[in-house]
Amino acid sequence: MLGTITNTITIIVGSVAGAIMKRGIKPQYQECLFTAMGLASLALGFNAVARTMPKSEYPVLFIVSIALGALIGTVLNIDQRFKGLVDRFDKSEDKGSLAKGLSTGILLYCIGTFSIVGPMLSALEGDNTFLYTNATLDLITSAVLAATYGIGMVWAAPVLFCWQGTFYLIAKLFGPIIPDTLVNEIITVGGTLIVASGLSLLNIKDCKSLNLLPSLLVPVVFFLLKGFVGL
């Protein structure tokens, strides 16, 4: 768990540093950072999809996952519920901005090769290389996000800890039976979610990224059913 703890601490440190910098950053520069994070989200998302989609053994699963996950998320109204919860604690003048920042930050920190495969490698082989690399990236990302959205971005840190901790425990308990194809499918879907977040940041399209989160569970359910029926 050392790699995950390190990753969590870097987000806290980066968020605090970014919040301090925010006080001296003019609005036009904050807007510049806002745009930069949108472009970075698109680049990271497209990169994840481009690397893992060619390895998919079930190309239709990706489409079904996004469609079904979006439908479930919309029915549950996850995006609006999350924004309502965050707004209760958001004391800034620009209501709703922190919710957008947190949803973006959580996706960037949690959905990706480093943050999914990293804790699994740490559990199975004691290799924290992926997690230390992710920590370095998240240190910079959290500083930029906090400079744009404020100190509230620090709440993404415990989410990351629980996310990576879950994968760490799963790998410890079930590591040998988790297929690489499942990991690829999750990363492909996750990359699409990051792209959706980038589009929202750039004000191109409000994709309500959090409503897409159930998409990540669809490949898991598919592989469980596949194993159950022996396909």
pLDDT score for 67? 94
Query: What are 92-124's pLDDT values in tens digits?
Result: 555 557 777 887 788 778 876 678 778 887 887
pLDDT score for 5? 94
pLDDT score for 70? 92
Question: Concatenated DSSP letters for the chain?
Answer: -HHHHHHHHHHHHHHHHHHHHHTT--HHHHHHHHHHHHHHHHHHHHHHHHHHGGG-S-HHHHHHHHHHHHHHHHHHTHHHHHHHHHHHH--SSSTTHHHHHHHHHHHHHHSSHHHHHHHHHHHHH---HHHHHHHHHHHHHHHHHHHHH-GGGGGHHHHHHHHHHHHHHHHHHHGGG--HHHHHHHHHHHHHHHHHHHHHHTTS----GGGGGGGGHHHHHHHHHHHHHT-
Q: Which residues span the domain enclosing 16?
A: 2-229
pLDDT score for 87? 63
pLDDT score for 75? 93
Split the chain (231 residues) into runs of 10 and give each run's mean pLDDT: 92 91 71 78 84 86 92 88 68 62 81 76 81 86 84 90 90 78 84 83 82 88 81 56
pLDDT score for 55? 86
Domain count, the chain: 1
